[in-house]
Amino acid sequence: MPRYFFHVFNGDGFTPDEEGIDLEDQASAQRMALDSIRSMISEEARKGVLDLDGYIDIVDGGAQSLRKIPFPEAFVLRLPGPRSD
């Protein structure tokens, strides 16, 4: 299985992934990134902070960036707007 690295860029800086994770393919890597964003944001939300200004950079074993996933991509966002009723 190929190894993917998940570097996190967000409000508290850059967290490099030095170890990487062995996953089936790039689709699995993408699912891992989305899952991880949800996991990190839900913990921050419990502390009362909702900061979606960040992204995960999925990088392959040759240090080639495969895809950057912005945090908002992991969510269906419904923000309060003017009500019609």
Partner 1 sequence: MIDRLFLKLRVRDLLSAEEEAVLRETIVELAEVPAKKTVLCRGEPLHRSILLIDGLMCRYKDLRNGRRQISALHVPGDFLDLHGFTLKHLDHDVMSLSPCRIAYAEHSRLVRLTEEFPHLTRLLWFTTNLDAAIHREWELSLGQRTGVARAAHLFCELYQRLRIVGLVQGQSYAFPLNQSELGECLGMTPVHTNRVLRELRERRLATFKGGLVVIEDLRGLEALAEFDAAYLYLDSTPR
Q: Which residues of this protein are in contact with partner 1, per CB under 8 A?
A: 6, 8, 15, 17-19, 21, 32-33, 35-36, 39-40, 43, 46-47, 56
- Three-state DSSP string of 3-25: EEEEEEEECCEEECCCCCEECCC
Report the C-alpha gap between 83 and 24 in whole angstroms.
45
Q: How far is the CB of 36 from partner 1 (least distance, A)?
A: 4
Cβ proximity to partner 1, 32 vs 52, nearer residue: 32
Least distance in angstroms from the C-beta of 39 to partner 1:
4
